[in-house]
Each structure stands twice: as structure tokens, then as C-alpha cells.
Chain A
Amino acid sequence: MTSPDNLPGSPDSGETPEVPVPAVPESPVARRGMFGAQDTGDTSGYGGLVVRRAPQISTPRPYGGYFDELVDALGLDDAIERVVVDRGELTLHVKRERLVEVCQKLRDDPALRFELSLGVTGVHYPHLAGEELHAVIHLCSMTHNRRVRVEASAPDADPHIPSTVGVYPGHDWHEREAYDFFGIIFDGHPALTRIMMPDDWEGFPQRKDYPLGGIPVEYRGATIPSPDQRRSYS
């Protein structure tokens, strides 16, 4: 039942020690084996696990439903990097320099009328080189009862995304939160300061490379590591 994956130095497990966040961004396979064990530590006998990374999907037309109509009405195809229709939701990946223009049109065009913004949030994808930081905006049109998700990305090295407070004043606190947790700098925000963490806090806690913290639990000499240090399935 021993899989080659669990043997030390097997060619399948690669030369470098495996880490929870994969080091090779190009490979679609994020990790093999149950817990990333390098020695015979995995006693389950199950080493055939392959963790795949999600591919970057882009949906071709027709998108279905009201999505085609919406993208046509927006008519800013040059500002949109890709369109994703997944699980009944429409996502527009927008070039960051055109984000404000797209939001403005989504809000003001009578055929679109996305009056209600549900805020900005960040997601950190360290494996997507050149677009590690995403700002995700959920919009809702009360007039037409529709929803759309607008996403803009920025590289870790240049974490700037234009602020949309001018279009949706309610984004004030949301952008501060995304800055606080992810370090995304929203250019043009009236007062981009930390909102949840103390003002003198260092680092951006919801980035993937930021440790969770916590202390190992000790019981009769044996220790259980804190949650982010434990072996995991995914």
C-alpha cells in the first residue's frame, strides 16, 4: 500500500520540500500526496491525492440570461480583460486603470443602473503572478433586479487600484478595510487609513503569507501546532 509519494526522495514528490502554498506557479497541480509528507510520516497508505489549482477561466459568448445584454449595454469591451460566467453569476475582470469609468457607466447608464454597491473586498492569490491582489466589487441593480461582480487586480509589487469612492460613496469604509487587510492602495481615496487593525499595525493580516498566529497546544510533552502550521488536506 506504500505509495512512492511517501518514500523519501521519490521523483514524484519533487526535489524541493513541499510547502502548503505551492512554490511553482506555472504548474496546474498544486500538490500531490496526502499531507505533503516527505518521509514515511503518512501512515494512511493513501498517497494518490492530487490537488489541482483552479484554471483561469474565461467564458465565451453567449453568456446566457441577461448577461449578454448587460455586457453589450456596457459597451466597454476594451476595458474588460475577461468575462467569467460561473454558477449563475457574471464576473467582469476589468483593467484597473479603467475601473472607475466602468463603475460610473454601470451606475449611470439607464440600461444598467447598478445603484446599489455591496462593497469592495480583497482576495489574495499569491500563485497568480502579476495579479496577486484582487479587489472585488459586488453590484446590484434595483431597477432591473440584476447583479454583477466587477473585479480588478494589481500585482504585489505595485498594489495600486483607483478608488471608486467618487462613484459609490459607500465604498469609503470598504476600501479602508481592503487596504487594512490586503495592502491594496486605493488611489484617490479621501483618507485611506486602517479601520479594523490598530493604526500602528505592521503587515496586512489577510494576505496568504501572513501567519495566523496562535500557540502550540502542549499535552504531556507532546505539542499540537497552531492551526496554520498543522498538516492539512488542501
Chain B
Amino acid sequence: MSTAYDEATEGKVYSVNGADWDEVVTGVRDSEEERLVVNMGPQHPSTHGVLRLVLTLDGETVTEARSVIGYLHTGIEKNMEFRTWTQGSTFVTRMDYLSPIFNETAYCMGVEKLLGITDRVPERAQAIRVMMMELNRISSHLVAMGTFGMELGATTPFLFGYRDRELVMDLFEYITGLRMNHAYVRPGGVSVDLPAGTVDKVGEFLKEMPKRIKDIRKLLDENPVYVRRTKDVGYLDLTGCMALGITGPILRAAGLPWDLRKTQPYCGYETYEFDVATERGCDVYSRYLVRMQEMEESLKIIEQALDRIAGPLKGEPVMIEDKKIGWPAQLALGPDGFGNSPDHIAHIMGTSMEALIHHFKLVTEGFRVPAGQAYASIESPKGELGAHVVSDGGTRPYRVHFREPSFCNLQGFPAMAEGGQVADVIAAVASIDPVMGGVDR
């Protein structure tokens, strides 16, 4: 299938819609062209969302690989400039939708830095953030490993990954009310305290999860097919990672133990005991091993955070005490399933005019943030997630930019794929674990 216009500008063009490969094969057999340019995506089951790959092939070898992005651009950064600082949480949570808690935390840390209240965020809120982030790291890695297996042709890891992710999703739903897009972390703390029974539920999760991780390891660690498809594939060494600004599991799989939780701790990570997973293979298999080990380390951190939440930090506030900043989100479960706490309503409507004014002003106008700019960064499951937050002194962000690790890491894809086999392209992309919501924002 081709038109004169296409042939004039781009050579012979074939559109493959399935079951018409014969046409391509016969066409290419008679062709004098040495190269074949394959356009993969933006809608393709193996491209991790709406990512388009343009591959130039010489036989089975990829001579040139380019990725085209922007299909999921939603203008989140621009939209945030027209909402209050607190409402920003609900926007950023939708960027990298597989690690919403990280987006929220990075953003809130940026706002807190601008407000100068980083040290005044309650310890219990920090411990909850840490616990939620590590739960989220596990769920994100499970999706990464699950889809990874599926893209290489194995459906069992996919089913295992998604089944086990449900455990985390259930916890998130129980704690925040939503499986995804929580807007749970707010500037100054977290929106609500953990509901009763959380400690038990997370405790059960901690008992169950090591078995589940072991199951996936049993499936993949020594699986000869998997190992052959991933070992020495998608090679990117430390030099390449540094040049391209690649962080996260890819960097650690190249042997550098760079983890912001250790090197530039935030949210009290310096007080938790855990190891940084590293491998030396620089390949897809090493990245898999790093992610698996990180999940196991995350379980350790969750356990420590849970001990603090249930122990010394029990009953402590989860939102900054400053009434000019702390969002008045005293929620209680009503008969309809949600709602404000009756005590809070009685307080603002019946006894305290000031409380009512604060509630009204905070919700409608929002708080003002002193002018300036700040950069806050955290170690997300994909790498360094940074929030560059600029304020002009108003109640809305002047500019928010996210340094999305998926965006930066995806730049490394040509370096991993060029010169390799076309089948290895899938493994290389999957090992980057790009989430297009984060790449395109």
C-alpha cells in the first residue's frame, strides 16, 4: 500500500495492519533498498504506552533508533499555574501515574522549601510519607517487571506482577481512598491520618510480600529464556549513563551506588536502615536484579516506618501546626462513605469564627508562598525526580517544572538499542521502565 507522494519523499511505504505481511515480504524481496525503516507505535502493546519508535533496520540489526514522544502531553505544568499551591498536588499525582506518591512528595517538598517549613513538617507525616513511598516503589517495580515479562512473551510474570500490585493498591485505597491519583501528600504534611487498622493491614502485607517477590524471582532469576533475552542486552555503561544524565536502577545496574535516599537524604531517610542495590552488568538483566533487590529493601524500610508510626509517633499530628498553611482536612467517614468530621464542622460553624475564616481563606484563596525558586529532588522508582518550583509571592505557582526520570532515561534508548537485534529493542525499552504520563506530562 503506497502513494506517489510517499514514494517521492520517503521511498516505498508499507502500512502493516496485521495478516498482510506477505505483501511486505514480496515487496521488500524485489526492492533494491538495503534499509528498512519500521515505525513502531505510538499504539503498540510493547511500547509501554503511547511511545513511538522509529527503527532503521539492516536485516535484523537496528542501525538507527529514535523515539518520538509527546503523544500524552497534557499541559500539567501550565495548568498548575492557574490553581492554588495545594491543588497542585492533584495535578502532579497524575504525571507518572505509577508512582503518584513520589510526584506529590517531590512537589510538596519543593513548596515546603519555598515556604521555609521543611523542618516543621511533623515527624509522623514524614514517616507516613516514607511508608507510602516505599509501598509505591514496590507497586511501580511490580508493574515494571510484570509488563517486562509480558513484552518478552511470558504472561505469568505479568499476572504475578499485577496480582501482587493489587495488594499495594488495596492498601492505598484503604489509606487514601483512591487506588491511584491520591493527592494524599500535601504541602505541610499528608491530607489525613492513617485510618484505624492500617498498621495491621500493612503488617499482613509485610508478611505476604516476601513470598510473592520470591515467586517472581523463581520464575525469572534463572529462567534460561529470560536470561538469554536480557543478559548483555541493552548495554549502557556508567560513562553513557553519566553523559545522558541517567539515574535510578539503570545507573545502579552500571555499578554506581547513587541513591538520593542515601546521598542526599530527605524525609528522614538517614534514620532508616537499608542497602542500596547495585549490579555491574550494565544490561537489562542487571536492571531487573536491581529492581527486585530494591523491592526487598523497601520492605525493610516499610517495616521500620510502621514501627515508628505505631510506636513513638502514635497520635502525633500529620499536618503542620501552622493554621495559615495546614489544609483543614479533618475528615471522618460519614454514612455516605466520605465527608468532613462533625467535630470540625461544629468547631468552625459553632464556636470559632477564626477557625471558620481560616478554613474559608485556605480553601478558596490558598496560602501565599514567598517569592523565589527552589529545587527538591527525591529518588523515585525510575531515578531522580526533581521539582523546580518558582513563586512570585502569590497563591498560585508561578512555574513548576518536573525533572522526570522517565523523560531523561528514555533519551538513553538509542544508545542501548542501536547495533543490537530488533527483538532486543523491546527488552531495552522495557528495562528503562518509561511511563509516558511522566515523560510527556
Contact B77 A206 (CB under 8 A): yes
Q: Determine if A205 and B411 form an interchain contact, defined as CB atoms under 8 angstroms apart.
A: no
Assess whether A195 is interfacial by the CB under 8 Å rule: yes
> Is B377 positioned at the interface, with any CB of A under 8 Å from its CB?
yes
A89 contacts B73, C-beta separation under 8 Å: no
Cβ–Cβ contact B399 & A212, under 8 A: no
A75 to B: closest C-beta gap in Å = 24
Tell me, yes or no, whether A118 is within 8 Å of chain B by CB: yes
Complex CA gap A232/B377 in Å reads 30
Interface string of A27-53 (1 = CB under 8 A from B): 000100000000000000000000111
C-alpha gap A160/B271 in the complex (Å): 46
Q: Which of B277-331 contact A (CB under 8 A)?
A: none
Tell me how far the C-beta of A28 lies from the nearest C-beta in chain B, rounded to whole angstroms: 11
Check B82 against A228 for contact (C-beta < 8 Å): yes
| Contact B69–A212 (Cβ < 8 Å) | no
Interface residues in B, total, Cβ within 8 A: 50
Partner of A123, one of B244, B390, B395, B396: B390
Closest to B113 in A: A87
- B-side contacts of A223, CB under 8 Å: none
Query: Given A169-B243, A169-B244, does the pair A234, B394 have CB atoms closer than 8 Å?
Result: yes
CB distance from A181 to the nearest CB of B (A): 8
Task: Say whether, besides A119-B245, A233-B365, A145 and B73 are in contact (CB < 8 Å).
Answer: no
Known A117-B245, A119-B245, A234-B368; judge A196-B70 contact (CB<8 A): yes
Closest to A149 in B: B375
Which of A88, A91, A169 has the largest count of B CB atoms less than 10 A from its CB? A169
Assess whether B70 is in contact with A195, with CB atoms less than 8 Å apart: yes
Interface residue tally of chain A, by bracket? Answer: 35 or more
Asked if B403 contacts A123 (CB within 8 A), the reply is no
B388 A136 Cβ-Cβ under 8 A: yes
Q: Does B83 contact A (CB under 8 A)?
A: yes
Cβ of B165 to closest chain A Cβ, rounded Å: 29
A173 at the interface (CB under 8 A from B): yes
Task: Bits for A135-158, please: 1 = Cβ < 8 Å to B, else 0.
Answer: 010101010010101000000000
Q: Is the CB of A232 within 8 A of B114?
A: no
- Contact assessment for B388 and A138 in the assembled complex, using a CB-CB cutoff below 8 Å: yes
Q: Kindly state the separation between the CA atoms of A214 and B372 in the bound complex, as whole angstroms.
A: 29
Contact with B along A103-136 (1 / 0, CB 8 A): 0000000000001111101011000000000001
Determine whether A9 belongs to the interface, using a CB cutoff of 8 Å to chain B.
no
Residues of B within 8 A of A12 (CB): none
Nearest CB on B from A169, distance (A): 5
Chain A contacts with B in 156-197, Cβ cutoff 8 A: 168-174, 194-197
Q: Bits for A193-234, please: 1 = Cβ < 8 Å to B, else 0.
A: 011111000000110000010000000000000011000111
Q: Is A54 an interface residue (CB 8 A)?
A: yes
Which partner residue on chain B sits nearest A57 by CB separation? Answer: B372
Asked if B393 lies at the interface with its beta carbon under 8 angstroms from chain A, I say yes
- The answer to whether B394 and A89 have CB atoms under 8 Å apart is no
Contact B408 A170 (CB under 8 A): yes
**Cβ distance B72 to chain A, nearest Cβ, rounded Å:** 9
| Distance, CA A220 to CA B59, complexed state (A) | 64
Question: Given known contacts A119-B245, A145-B263, A212-B82, is B375 in contact with A89 (CB within 8 Å)?
Answer: yes
By beta carbon, the residue of chain B nearest A52 is B393
**Complex: how many Å from CA A66 to CA B314?**
38
Pick from B114, B263, B365, B407: contact of A173, CB under 8 Å: B407
B371 at interface (Cβ–Cβ under 8 A)?
A: yes
Q: Report if A121-B401 is in contact (Cβ < 8 Å); known contacts: A116-B242, A170-B243, A196-B73.
A: yes
A54 to B390, alpha carbons, bound, how many Å?
Answer: 11
Is A86 at the interface (CB under 8 A from chain B)? Answer: yes
- Which of chain A's residues has its CB closest to B391's CB? A54
Identify B411's interface contact among A86, A170, A197, A227, CB under 8 A: A170
Whether the Cβ atoms of B373 and A86 lie closer than 8 Å is yes
Judging by beta carbons under 8 Å apart, are A142 and B243 in contact?
no
Docked complex: B335-376 residues within 8 A CB-CB of A: 365-366, 368, 371-375
Q: Known contacts A170-B243, A170-B244; is A205 also within 8 Å of B75 by CB? A: yes
B77 nearest CB across to chain A (Å): 7
Q: How far is the CA of A91 from the CA of B390 in the complex (A)?
A: 13
Tell me how far the C-beta of A212 lies from the nearest C-beta in chain B, rounded to whole angstroms. 6
CB distance from A230 to the nearest CB of B (A): 8
Beyond A86-B372, A116-B247, A147-B375, whether A234 also contacts B114 by CB under 8 A is no
Which one, A87, A121, A140, A212, contacts B388 given CB within 8 A? A121
Q: Is B264 an interface residue (CB 8 A)?
A: yes
B424 at the binding interface (Cβ < 8 Å): no
Q: Which residues of A contact B (CB under 8 A)?
A: 30, 51-54, 86-89, 91, 115-119, 121, 123-124, 136, 138, 140, 142, 145, 147, 149, 168-174, 194-198, 205-206, 212, 227-228, 232-234
- In addition to A196-B69, A227-B83, 6 A-B residue pairs with Cβ atoms within 8 Å of each other are A88-B113, A138-B388, A140-B384, A168-B243, A196-B70, A233-B366
Which 6 A-B pairs give the minimum distances between C-beta atoms?
A: A234-B394, A54-B371, A170-B245, A227-B82, A121-B401, A196-B73
Name 7 interchain pairs, CB-CB below 8 A, sorted by A: A116-B242, A118-B375, A123-B390, A171-B245, A206-B399, A232-B395, A233-B394
